[in-house]
Amino acid sequence: MEGLYSGETMGPMPVKFSIQQLSTFYGSVQALRSLSMDVATNRILGVIGPAGSGKTSFLRTLNRLNDLLPDFRVEGRVLLDGSDIYGPDTDPVLLRRRIGMVFAMPVPLPMSIYENLVYGPKLTGIRDYQRLGEIVEKSLRAAYLWDEVKDRLNLPALRLSGGQQQRLCLARTLALGPEVILLDEPSSGLDPISTARIEEALAELKSSYTIILVTNNTKQASRVADETAFFLMGELVEIGPTEKIFTAPGDSRTEDYVTGRFG
């Protein structure tokens, strides 16, 4: 089923996610209010909006991480390559292997760097020591961390610096070989150099992954994202190519937010 961009002339792009009237509830509290949008494949979608606008909740709904919350409920549909991820025959475990996620605060597992990286692949049954070594190197290089850690892979991950830990988390997600990468404010609390490293990595990764980057740093969105979506109070206010959103937004609320007048 082909999803078209809303109001975009650049010809139909292959769609990774097609989200239709998505609403989410934590018990009685509603987080997202009937969201509808399409996410193009192999491009970076920036998601901006003030705190509490439902950005993170949206992200965690895509890889069904919100299932961990006891009274979480979903309405509407989220199609990944055409099939509804909340449908009965979707196995959330397999889904999460296709959709990797990097959290706001870097959370390395309390194991060595090596064990952190091979954690995902081993779950899919890869046992061959040689193959694991390749995956580790490939993903560390993709996250621009290989040179700094290649000869101390047995070091406990908690001994790395903040920036290195975040890149390790990115590498760990890449090691899983996902199709989509979700990033939840990856550079919050990082120094400019580490932030630049992450953004370089994302630009590089765009060619082989669909990336959704949630950030409250509008500059980062304008630098990195191909398309940008503006969330407010759980609603999708507007979505479109990044320079259109930042120079000629269709909705006054987007304009106020992007020019920094509020939020």
Q: Which of helix, strand or coil describes residue 176?
A: coil
Of the candidates 96, 135, 142, 149, which one interacts with other proteins according to CB under 8 A?
A: 96
Burial (Cβ within 10 Å: 0-12, 13-18, ≥19) of residue 51 = exposed
First CA to last CA distance, the chain: 37
Q: Does the protein bind other proteins through residue 154 (CB under 8 A)?
A: yes
Q: Does the protein bind other proteins through residue 176 (CB under 8 A)?
A: yes
46 or 100, CB closer to other proteins? 100
Q: Does the protein bind other proteins through residue 158 (CB under 8 A)?
A: yes
48 or 157, CB closer to other proteins? 157
Give the interface segment with other proteins, choosing from 5-13, 35-43, 104-112, 233-241 (CB under 8 A): 104-112
Q: Between vectors from CA 63 to CA 185 and to CA 180, what angle results, nearest 5°? A: 70
Tell me the two tokens of residue 21.
């009237």
CB of 184 to other proteins, least distance (A): 10
Q: Position of tokens 């920094």?
A: 260
Contact 212, 183 (CB under 8 A): yes
Q: Does the protein bind other proteins through residue 63 (CB under 8 A)?
A: yes
Burial (Cβ within 10 Å: 0-12, 13-18, ≥19) of residue 179 = middle
153 or 225, CB closer to other proteins? 153
180 or 237, CB closer to other proteins? 180
Q: Does the protein bind other proteins through residue 65 (CB under 8 A)?
A: yes
CB of 199 to other proteins, least distance (A): 22
Angle between helix axes 192-205 and 162-175 (nearest 10 degrees) is 10
Where does this chain bind other proteins (CB under 8 A)?
63, 65, 68, 70, 93-94, 96-97, 100-101, 103, 105, 107, 109-112, 114-115, 119-120, 122-125, 127, 154, 156, 158, 169, 172-173, 176
